[in-house]
């Protein structure tokens, strides 16, 4: 059983023997805590910098969007040889190789089929045979610009040997037999061969070309593989960075400040305003998902880029994901939450005006971190070495430089990912979560320290409270408590990471197993999930109250957690009736800010810039989700002003009551009335009638 904290809270004896009261205890008898955790946190930041440096050195975000050509160059890379700055589309030149990759018994893979980077997808001619030739080199005296202007065709310049090789589908020129369409910067063949082109090809003595639907499905399967979709999602973040800045950074700050000002002046009306806004916004977001999923209107997302035949229909995995999220949003939007609020802390915000401005400091820090982290993430996801595959298939091609058919090194190129790259990505994701938790916890601790100064000075402006107590609290945090906050945020991050890894492991085991789960296995899984979620919720709740006691007492993390837990258990009814209602409405407020960010993200992504052309995103899903997450994080930083004010004052009131035999000596009159009188509590939570 812990002893009284009279020496720490409420009063203390100075060195001259004079007992002092009030806010002075906030800065009394402190020393640095949890040094080990601080050292680990510093080492973590060093590791993050080293890990990110590896990504910047090895990665190339262009790989997330564009494919590789027959030389191993990334399409669209202006630094490649030859320069491919405008040539962003990957086109497979040999139709028979594409056909072969689609056969079940074939060992030949599409990644080994000969591909080239073009400005647009070739289409067959109505009166002649079109060709797509290799990049001009050797005896072909054409510049890249002339080659592009000639529609990649220099067949008329070929020697008889080269022409014979081309008729055998060994290059350097290949016939355009099938129409193709730009699907996510790869030319998707349409299994509808041009009769005119085939006739010319046969008259010239070309080898037989397969016309089966397999040629369509092979490319489609490659474009819609899980790894390709994941790369496109990551690329969407890079393309939509202006949307993330506006809707994930600037807009949430603006809305959060407005919400804090409204809650200061319209306490009674805010529950109803928040609930109405929440319902309108979640319905709006759900409707946008319905529109983009194609279930309302004719504005569904399409994997085809640019103008194309309206009768051509190509289905992308992104649309499946979007429809799944639409169903989920429908289920969420039908839940109506009607509640009320009790915010005693509104008076504190009025007394400590800097509280509204303070979140801009951790927000600016977090914004800089997110920009650095996102850039590093794009490079890490695109890191790896481009190496030529080791295939055993017969894929001879004409070498313009060697002036002969070469069968030794004709395999395609691919990006080789090593296991340590996967570990680097996982560490990078963990680092983002830990850093976010740390910045939010730091902001909460500083706010708690400022509010505690207000409470222990009898809720009045006192000489014992330094000017701009928020910055005084921030100074105490930086000097004494940063290690404790690092420890608390690390614990939450580890618990979340373990739960994520266990879920990933379960899914892998389920996919690899052919045995259906028994009801016992399903019950065990659901129980374990519930148990882990309970642990996660408990740790987050304990952490939040521990940060308050760290700000008040200057204790270490575990000592502060113990004190906070004892106070909560001894005053569960007082805390419960105020905090539960307040937390619900604050949660709805965060959702309002984040959903507003999602609505504006949808509107920005629906413009021509992101729906077609060079910056087209594969799907609005991932950028919208990221904007929602950023908006929620920013709102959490700002709403911590109210959230931590409530919790700090309630815990201070409980401790004050314990120290003075059930009568709080330092509580403001409004707080005593609220927590001491049930009718007054009802009046505050429901608003004036």
Q: Which of 340-354, 463-477, 524-538 is predicted with the least confidence, judged by mean pLDDT?
A: 340-354
The pLDDT of 553-575, averaged and rounded, is 77
Given a cut of 50, whether residue 22 has pLDDT beyond it is no
Predicted confidence band of residue 46 (pLDDT cuts 50, 70, 90): very high
Task: Return the residue matching tokens 């504005």.
Answer: 299
Residue 408: per-residue pLDDT? 74
CA–chain centroid gap for 506, Å, is 23
Q: Give 216's strand partners.
A: none
Tens of pLDDT, residues 394-439: 678 888 888 888 877 778 888 888 888 888 998 999 999 999 989 9
Give every CB contact of residue 465 below 8 A, 6+ residues apart in sequence.
Answer: 23, 453, 454, 457
Q: At what angle do helices 557-570 and 482-512 cross, to 10 degrees?
A: 80
Which is nearest to 665 in space by CA: 451, 452, 455? Answer: 455
pLDDT value, residue 45 = 92
**C-alpha 427 chain-centroid distance:** 15
Q: Is the pLDDT of residue 17 over 70?
A: no
* Burial state string for 79-113 with b = 16 or more CB within 10 A and e = fewer than 16: ebebebeebbbbbbbbbbbbbbbbeeeeebbbbbb
Angle formed at CA 29 by CA 26 and CA 33, multiple of 5 degrees: 95
Angle at 253 (CA atoms; ends 250, 257), nearest 5 degrees = 145
Which of 389, 398, 317 lies closest to 110, judged by CA?
389
Instruction: Give the distance, in angstroms, between the CA of residue 79 and the centroid of all CA atoms in the same chain.
Output: 30
Residue 2 has pLDDT above 60, yes or no: no
pLDDT (mean) for 107-117: 86
Residue 294: which region, alpha, beta or left (left: phi > 0; alpha: psi -120 to 50)? Answer: left
Q: Which residues contact 160 (CB under 8 A, 6 or more apart)?
A: none
Greatest alpha-carbon span in the chain = 111
Confidence of residue 520 (pLDDT cuts 50, 70, 90): low
pLDDT tens per residue, range 475-492: 888 888 899 999 988 988
Q: Which among 201, 192, 121 is positioned nearest to 169, based on CA atoms? A: 201
Query: By the 8 A CB rule, do 95 and 447 touch?
Result: no
Q: Which residue has the tokens 């993050």?
A: 48
DSSP conformation letters of 628-671: HHHHHHHHHHHHHHHHHHHHHHHHHHHHHHHHTTT--SS--HHH
Of 109, 154, 112, 113, the closest CA to residue 132 belongs to 154
* Residue 245: band (very low, low, confident or very high) from pLDDT cuts 50, 70, 90: very high
CA pair distance 442, 448, nearest whole angstrom: 10
Which residue stretches of 240-316 are H helix? 241-245, 251-265, 270-293
Which position has the higher pLDDT, 191 or 255? Answer: 255
Rounded Cα distance, 627 and 248, in Å: 4
Question: CB of 655 within 8 A of CB of 618?
Answer: no
Please check the confidence at residue 602 and state whether its pLDDT lies above 50.
yes
The alpha helices in 571-611, defined as continuous H runs, are 572-605, 608-611
The answer to whether residues 396 and 6 touch, using CB atoms and an 8 Å cutoff, is no
pTM for the structure as a whole: 0.78
| C-beta neighbour count of 658 within 10 angstroms | 19
Which H or E run includes 387?
strand 385-388
How high is the pLDDT of residue 682?
Answer: 41
Q: How confident is the model at residue 14 (pLDDT cuts 50, 70, 90)?
A: very low
How far apart CA 118 and CA 131 sit, in angstroms, is: 13
- What's the token pair of residue 637? 């930083």
pLDDT in tens, 255-300: 988 887 887 777 667 777 777 788 888 888 889 988 888 888 788 8
pLDDT at 624: 93
Confidence at residue 272, expressed as pLDDT on a 0 to 100 scale:
74
Which phi and psi angles does 348 have, rounded to 5°?
Answer: -65, -40
For 15-32, what is the mean pLDDT?
A: 51
Distance between CA atoms of residues 559 and 553, nearest Å:
10
Residue 352 falls in which region: left (phi positive, over 0), alpha (psi -120 to 50) or beta: beta
**C-alpha span between 631 and 366 (Å, rounded):** 12
Q: How confident is the model at residue 608 (pLDDT cuts 50, 70, 90)?
A: confident
Beta-bridge partners for 180: 189
Q: How far is CA 196 from the centre of its chain?
A: 49
Name beta bridge partners: 173.
133
Per the DSSP assignment, residues forming a β-bridge with 388 are 413
Tell whether the model's pLDDT for residue 663 goes beyond 80: no
pLDDT > 70? residue 582: no
Query: What is the distance between the alpha carbons of residues 646 and 456, in angstroms, rounded to a whole number?
Result: 15
Query: What would the pLDDT profile of 338-386 be if each residue is shown by its tens digit?
Result: 443 333 444 445 555 556 677 888 888 888 999 999 999 999 988 888 8
pLDDT of residue 518: 60
User: Mean pLDDT in the chain?
Assistant: 78
pLDDT bin (cut points 50, 70, 90) of residue 598 is very high
Residue (of 323, 181, 341) closest to 619 by Cα position: 323
pLDDT digits (tens, 9 = 90+) for 159-172: 989 999 999 888 79
Contact (CB, 8 A) for 585 and 274:
yes
Beta strand 180-183 pairing with 397-399: unpaired
The pLDDT value recorded for residue 510 is: 57
Q: What residues contact residue 128 under an 8 Å CB cut-off, 6+ apart?
A: 196, 200
Nearest to 665 by CA among 673, 653, 674, 677: 653
Distance CA 134, CA 154 (A): 9
């Amino acid at each position: 059983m812990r002893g009284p904290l009279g020496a720490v809270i409420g009063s203390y004896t100075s060195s001259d023997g004079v007992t002092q009261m009030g806010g002075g205890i906030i800065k009394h008898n402190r020393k640095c805590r949890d040094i080990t955790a601080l050292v680990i946190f510093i080492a973590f930041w060093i590791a993050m910098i080293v890990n990110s440096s590896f990504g910047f050195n090895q990665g190339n975000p262009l790989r997330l969007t564009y494919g590789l050509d027959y030389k191993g160059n990334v399409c669209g890379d202006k630094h490649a040889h030859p320069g491919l700055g405008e040539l962003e589309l990957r086109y497979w030149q040999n139709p028979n190789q594409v056909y072969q990759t689609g056969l079940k018994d074939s060992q030949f893979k599409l990644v080994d089929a000969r591909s080239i980077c073009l400005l647009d997808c070739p289409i067959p001619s109505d009166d002649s045979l079109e060709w797509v030739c290799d990049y001009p080199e050797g005896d072909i005296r054409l510049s890249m610009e002339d080659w592009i202007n000639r529609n990649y065709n220099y067949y008329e310049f070929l020697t008889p040997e080269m022409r014979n090789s081309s008729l055998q589908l060994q290059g350097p020129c290949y016939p355009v037999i099938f129409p193709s369409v730009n699907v996510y910067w790869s030319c998707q063949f349409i299994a509808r061969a041009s009769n005119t082109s085939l006739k010319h090809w046969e008259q010239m003595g070309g080898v037989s070309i397969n016309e089966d639907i397999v040629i369509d499905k092979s490319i489609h399967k490659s474009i819609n593989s899980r790894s390709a979709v994941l790369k496109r999602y990551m690329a969407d973040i890079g393309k939509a960075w202006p949307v993330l800045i506006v809707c994930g950074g600037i807009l949430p700050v603006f809305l959060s400040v407005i919400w804090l000002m409204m809650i200061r002046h319209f306490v009674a009306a805010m529950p109803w305003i928040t609930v109405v806004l929440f319902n309108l916004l979640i319905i709006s977001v759900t409707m946008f998902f319905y529109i983009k999923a194609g279930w309302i209107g004719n504005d569904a997302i399409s994997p085809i880029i640019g103008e194309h035949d309206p009768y051509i229909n190509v289905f992308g995995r992104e649309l499946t994901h979007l429809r799944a999220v639409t169903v989920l949003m429908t289920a969420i939007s039908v839940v109506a939450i009607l509640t009320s609020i009790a915010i005693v802390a509104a008076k504190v915000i009025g007394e400590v005006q800097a509280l509204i401005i303070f979140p801009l400091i951790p927000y600016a820090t977090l914004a800089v971190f997110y920009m650095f982290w996102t850039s590093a993430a794009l490079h890490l996801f695109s890191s790896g070495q481009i190496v030529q595959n080791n295939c055993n298939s017969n894929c001879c091609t004409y070498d313009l430089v060697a002036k002969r058919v070469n069968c030794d090194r004709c395999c395609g190129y691919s990006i080789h990912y090593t296991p340590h790259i996967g570990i680097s990505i996982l560490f990078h994701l963990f680092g983002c979560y830990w850093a976010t938790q740390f910045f939010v916890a730091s902001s909460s601790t500083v706010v708690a320290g400022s509010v505690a100064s207000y409470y222990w000075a009898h809720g009045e402006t006192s000489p014992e409270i330094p000017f701009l107590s928020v910055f005084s609290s921030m100074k105490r945090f930086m000097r004494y408590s940063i290690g404790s906050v690092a420890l608390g945020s690390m614990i939450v991050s580890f618990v979340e990471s373990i739960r994520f890894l266990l879920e990933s492991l379960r899914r892998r085991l389920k996919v690899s197993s052919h045995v259906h789960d028994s009801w016992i296995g399903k019950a065990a899984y659901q129980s374990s999930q519930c148990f882990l979620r309970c642990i996660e919720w408990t740790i987050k709740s304990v952490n939040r109250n521990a940060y308050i006691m760290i700000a008040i007492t200057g204790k270490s993390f575990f000592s502060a957690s113990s004190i906070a837990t004892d106070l909560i258990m001894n005053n569960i009814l007082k805390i419960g009736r105020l905090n539960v209602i307040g937390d619900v409405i604050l949660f709805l407020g965060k959702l309002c800010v984040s959903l507003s960010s999602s609505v504006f993200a949808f509107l920005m992504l629906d413009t021509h810039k992101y729906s077609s052309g060079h910056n087209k995103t594969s799907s609005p899903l991932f950028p919208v989700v990221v904007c929602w997450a950023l908006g929620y994080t920013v709102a959490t930083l700002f709403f911590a002003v109210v959230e931590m004010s409530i919790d700090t004052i309630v815990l201070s009131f409980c401790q004050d009551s314990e120290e003075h035999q059930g009568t709080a000596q330092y509580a403001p009159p409004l707080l005593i009335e609220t927590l001491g009188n049930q009718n007054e509590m009802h009046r505050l939570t429901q608003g004036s009638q």
